[in-house]
Amino acid sequence: MLLLGCHVNFNKDSQVLGSLEQALSYGATTFMFYTGAPQNTVRGKIKLDKVEEAKALMKDYSLDYSKVVVHAPYIINLANSKDQEKYQFSIDFLKQELKRCEELEVFQIVLHPGSHIGLGRDVGIQNIINALNEVLQDSKVTILLETMAGKGTELGVSIDDIKEIIDGVHHKKHIGICLDTCHLNDAGYDVSHFDEILDEIDEKIGLSFLGCVHINDSKNPRESHKDRHENFGLGTIGFHSLLDIVYNKRLDDVPKILETPYVDREFPPYRYEIEMIKKREFDENLIENIKKQVL
């Protein structure tokens, strides 16, 4: 079965069951969510009964709960140690996120490696390694380092960056990679030759480390270092290149997650994008057609 999902909400009442129901309503077979607002660290208690209900419902649909993914909030920055207090806060908050993942029985969490904010690449990377070694000490959850577009002083922009971090992490069982097609494009990779990217990962790190792929088109040309996602097929990557990635045999067991923008910042596009992907037929009027159906 095609392992294709999208980013969904998580609210404090329905929790992961609500997230799953939303994903199912889009025709998704997996999903990704933040355990609270991505831009802050306010987090409520995980309701274990909702976890059980979600697992049971997925089983009814013959879907695999073990492929569900959490995304860490982007205020966590493990690269910047200039303010020791903030650095330690990022580490402690990430530890708590891992605990929440354990309670949710979600065993992979996507993390932006961090931005060095003037400390320089090498210091930033060492900070990330040190932080990960502390955080992962007795973790049951795998941290998937996301490849970034290279906005500002972001790290993890190349496969070599990611390799350097993973090489420094002692707990190899609980570290991995999340590719983001928009970020790869904006960082300078040619995602229309995705097998070459997978080959490079396999040679340098090992393809078994790949735990998730974010499927997004990009509003900007290759190597623009911008990180602005576009709807499936409507950006500079285009429908056929993205479709090839979704259906790449080497990614069969890897959850592929859409993080494409809401239409008019209001309407989730995922049901329509997933439908288009399943039909394998490009709808150049995707946005107009979504509006027609929701308005």
| Least CB distance to Zn ion at residue 163 (A) | 21
Question: Are the C-beta atoms of 43 and 35 separated by less than 8 Å?
Answer: yes
| Least CB distance to Zn ion at residue 230 (A) | 11
Q: Which is nearer to Zn ion, 106 or 179 (CB)?
A: 179
- Which of 161, 180, 230, 283 binds Fe ion (CB under 5 A)? It is 180
| Least CB distance to Zn ion at residue 57 (A) | 29
- Between CA 5 and CA 48 the distance in angstroms is 23
| Least CB distance to Zn ion at residue 186 (A) | 8
Q: Which is nearer to Zn ion, 164 or 227 (CB)?
A: 227
The site map against Fe ion for 135-164 (x = CB under 5 A) is -----------x------------------
146 binds Zn ion (CB under 5 A): no
The 8-class DSSP code of residue 173 comes to G
- Which of 163, 174, 214, 256 binds Fe ion (CB under 5 A)? It is 214
The site map against Zn ion for 175-214 (x = CB under 5 A) is ----------------------------------------
- # residues near Zn ion by CB under 5 A: 1
Question: Are the C-beta atoms of 169 and 141 separated by less than 8 Å?
Answer: no
Q: Which is nearer to Zn ion, 154 or 227 (CB)?
A: 227
Buried b (16+ CB within 10 A) or exposed e, 72-81: bbeebbbbbb
Q: What residues contact 237, with CB distance under 8 A and at least 6 apart?
A: 181, 182, 185, 191, 192, 217, 218
Indicate which of Zn ion, Fe ion, none lies near residue 214 (CB less than 5 to 8 Å, by partner kind): Fe ion
CB atoms within 10 A of CB 257: 26
227 binds Zn ion (CB under 5 A): yes
Sign of CA dihedral 130, 135, 136, 141: negative
CB atoms within 10 A of CB 128: 27
| Least CB distance to Fe ion at residue 260 (A) | 10
- Between CA 190 and CA 149 the distance in angstroms is 13
| Least CB distance to Fe ion at residue 274 (A) | 17
Question: Are the C-beta atoms of 159 and 166 separated by less than 8 Å?
Answer: no
* Contact set with Fe ion (CB under 5 A): 146, 180, 214
* Contact set with Zn ion (CB under 5 A): 227
